[in-house]
Structure 1
Amino acid sequence: MNRPRPRRLGHVVLNVRDLQASVRFYTDIVGLQVSDYIEDQMAFLRCAQDHHDLALAQIPKDAAEWHNTYRPQRPGLEHFAYQLESLEEIEQAAAFLRSKNVEIVRGIGKHGPGENLFLVFQDPDGNYCEFYAEMLQVTPQKPYQASVWKNDLKAFDQWEFGRFVVDPPDWGPSRQ
Structure 2
Amino acid sequence: MQPSAILESALYVTDLDAAEAFYRDVIGLQRIAKVDGRHVFFRCGQGVLLLFNAEATKHQLPPDAKLPVPPHGAVGEGHLCFAASAEEIDRWRTALERRGIVVEADFEWPSGGRSIYFRDPSGNSIEFAEPRIWGQ
The higher relative CO (CA closer than 8 Å, separation ≥ 6) is in 1
TM-score (norm 2): 0.40
More helix by percentage: 2
TM-score using structure 1 length = 0.31
